[in-house]
Amino acid sequence: MIRVMLPTHLRTLAKVAGEVELDVSGPVTQRSVLDALEARYPMLSGTIRDHVTKERRAFIRFFACEEDLSHESPDAPLPEAVANGVEPFLVIGAIAGG
């Protein structure tokens, strides 16, 4: 079971509280986790990734095991601790300002 933490506004949209647990078939990658997340919560489709290109939205970041994975390949394997459900995959809304 993969654990995913979403920012508050996406938890509200998906009508979930706290972590989301997902079954991911095949290799555990950003793409497979996000595909499973969007399949289970279709209202999130297009909020984290572009509808067409499936690229990460500009103000969304991905973290796991205290590492920023935002610029990693979406098909790169996630850390073993995430794949085993020990650590969560975090989707974070970046903060911009001036």
Going from N- to C-terminal start, the domains of the chain cover 2-93
Asked whether the predicted pLDDT for residue 43 surpasses 70, the reply is yes
- The whole-angstrom distance between residue 45's C-alpha and the CA centroid of its chain comes to 12
For the segment 64-91, what is each residue's pLDDT rounded down to a tens digit? 999 999 999 999 999 999 999 999 999 9
Q: Note the pLDDT tens digit of each residue in 15-30.
A: 999 999 999 989 999 9
Report in angstroms the alpha-carbon separations of 41 from 30, 49, 50, 72, 73: 16, 13, 15, 24, 23
- How large is the average pLDDT for residues 20-44? 96
CATH 3.40.800.10 assigned to 2-93:
no
Q: pLDDT-based confidence at 97, cuts 50/70/90?
A: low
Total-model pTM: 0.92
